[in-house]
Structure 1
Amino acid sequence: MSYGAHDDQTTALALAARAGDVRAAEAFVAATQRDVIRFLAHLAGPADAEDLAQETFLRAMRALPGYEGRSSARTWLLSIARHTAIDHLRALTRRPRTADLSDWAATADAARTAQGPRFDEQVLINRLISQLDPDRREAFVATQVLGLSYLEAAEVVGCPVGTIRSRVSRAREDLAAALAADNAPHRHLRAV
């Protein structure tokens, strides 16, 4: 089965890493790290994404001997990332969370130094995506942000393709409604 040139290369790297090729393991991490962090940022929050990505890669390297290449390595890895995020979120519900002042300060500084509407639009989009129902959010991020096919997203999430299609469709509807509601006060102010 062919997954696409990039996924085929990533899968080849994973299989070579499974056979003990250290450089292939490093290249596999480098090739997939960005998608894993982006996926985790949307599932568990940007503040925890890098730590969860490290945990994902640790889990993946431990599980690599059992990887047989039946699905693309990217799909397999994002499935591990999803489980890592779920475990993290479950752990958070068991203990109270405190605000991290240094993260807040860095975010505020970054917001002050960012320029132009592109930053504002990205902040709005990320906020709206973060407010989606978790099932819809993970299906939307997997397909629309990371570019996985519906079949690949179904493998990552562990549900039928039709369910992914439905969740993405509903997420789009939710985002459109939220965007319209968010823009309504701004339209009123412009008319005045």
Structure 2
Amino acid sequence: MTMTAARGPLFVATDDAVTPDPRKDPLLPVLERARSGDRTALGELLRQVSPTVLRGLRSMLGTTDTDDALQESLLAFVDALDAYRGETNLRRYALRIGIRTALAARRRDRARSGLFDDHVRTSEPLNAPPTTPPEEWTALRQREAFRILLDALPEPQAEALALRVVFEYSLDEIAQVSGVPINTVRSRVRLAREALRARIEADPALKQLLEVEEVAS
């Protein structure tokens, strides 16, 4: 059994599916002005990164309202501007912050509801609109099942796996934006895959739903 999202129903295209050289990021001059206190530049920077962050939030949160999560992500991005060291381009830097925000939001929602079923239910994970094509409905069910599986992982593993599988970050880039050695990233991705694979293997319906080609480590 293998699992991935690359170019499949769980894959989310971003503005930077192929990582450009962060030293050539056109937003760097805007960043420098924003760091110096130029509020107009800060507003422009937020406008530039917001679409990428919003797509990431929608992928991680599904149909959940993303307005609060977007605001929280952008505030965290502003707070993290001084810590930016050119490890990746700014849109992907902001996307990583959005992913962390989304994971935290899902955990908060779960804690408030007091509900988390160790068995991911795939028979009726969503109510299908009557006009939804079967292929689209299957993709929606796959995305929600994958999000639920991520919820069960420790946050560092969930973040690393989401960045690697859903958003196609390289292992080196995950290490750079996370501030950890690349071997730590490899370990997190491996442990996350092993944990998810065990859950999937234990659930025949989930195994059938998520049977897709695996991304190379």
Partner SS, residue 172 of structure 1: helix
- Distance in 1 separating the partners of 2:207 and 2:105: 37
Pair 1:52 & 2:69 matched: yes
TM-fit CA distance, 1:112: 2.9
TM-score with structure 2 setting the length:
0.57
Count residues in correspondence: 167
- Distance in 2 separating the partners of 1:46 and 1:85: 12
Pairwise CA RMSD? 3.9
Contact 1:82–1:157 (8 Å) recurs in 2: no
1:164 alignment partner, one of 169, 180, 185: 185
TM-fit CA distance, 1:161: 1.1
Find the counterpart in structure 1 of residue 94 from structure 2: 77
TM-fit CA distance, 1:17: 5.0
Report matched runs for 1:33-182 at 5 Å.
33-38=54-59, 41=61, 47=64, 49-61=66-78, 63-64=80-81, 66=82, 69-72=85-88, 73-78=90-95, 80-81=97-98, 84=101, 92=108, 97=112, 111-113=127-129, 114-116=132-134, 117-182=138-203
- Distance in 2 separating the partners of 1:89 and 1:122: 14
- Distance in 2 separating the partners of 1:161 and 1:70: 17
Find the counterpart in structure 2 of residue 12 from structure 1: 26
Q: Which runs of 5+ in 1 are unaligned?
A: 100-107, 188-192
Q: Which runs of 5+ in 2 are unaligned?
A: 1-17, 34-39, 115-123, 209-217
TM-fit CA distance, 1:56: 1.6
More helix by share: 1
- Distance in 2 separating the partners of 1:111 and 1:86: 23
- Distance in 2 separating the partners of 1:121 and 1:37: 14
TM-fit CA distance, 1:184: 6.9
TM-score with structure 1 setting the length:
0.63
Q: For residues 74 and 154 of structure 1, do their structure 2 counterparts lie closer, same or farther at Cα, with a shift above 3 Å needed? A: farther
Please identify the structure whose Cα radius of gyration is greater: 1
Letter in 2 for 1:12: P
